[in-house]
């Protein structure tokens, strides 16, 4: 019971980090797009890179908090993020994933898993 509670809180910390980074970066880019002549298509790749960084960071935090099984913690974090985004897209906009989005979300899960693995390893080095 205690172990599953620790796993749940570590995943929750990772998800909070992901959504915090996503909200802050979205706000910054909304301001940039509003007050400059940049178009949304010109910052698409930057936003994708920031999404990958946010997922890596969330997986890293999940793995660091969990202290074991970082690949699983990162994968769960990425999968829950994907489910939340899918639910928002489906329920809010009545749209399903297209093939390009499926590739992105698989990459999101894999990046979060890598972050989880690194988070566990960095945490174990600092405690020795």
Sorting pLDDT into bands at 50, 70 and 90, what band is 1?
A: low
pTM of the model: 0.86
Please provide the average confidence, as pLDDT, over all residues in the chain: 88
Q: Look at residue 53 and give its three-state secondary structure.
A: helix
**pLDDT, tens digit, 9 for 90 and up, residues 109-120:** 999 999 999 998
pLDDT confidence of residue 27: 94
CB 17 within 8 A of CB 61: yes
Q: How far is CA 83 from CA 57, 66, 76, 128, in A?
A: 18, 21, 10, 36
CB 48 within 8 A of CB 101: no
């Amino acid at each position: 019971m205690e172990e599953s509670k620790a796993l749940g809180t570590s995943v929750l910390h990772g998800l909070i980090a992901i959504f915090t980074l996503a909200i802050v970066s979205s706000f910054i880019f909304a301001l940039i797009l509003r007050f400059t002549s940049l178009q949304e298509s010109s910052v698409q790749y930057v936003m994708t890179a920031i999404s990958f960084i946010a997922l890596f960071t969330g997986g890293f935090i999940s793995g660091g908090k969990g202290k074991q099984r970082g690949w699983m913690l990162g994968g769960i974090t990425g999968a829950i993020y994907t489910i939340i985004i899918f639910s928002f897209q489906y329920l809010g906009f009545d749209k399903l994933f297209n093939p390009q989005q499926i590739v992105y979300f698989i990459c999101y899960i894999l990046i979060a898993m890598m972050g989880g693995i690194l988070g566990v390893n960095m945490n174990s080095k600092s405690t020795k």
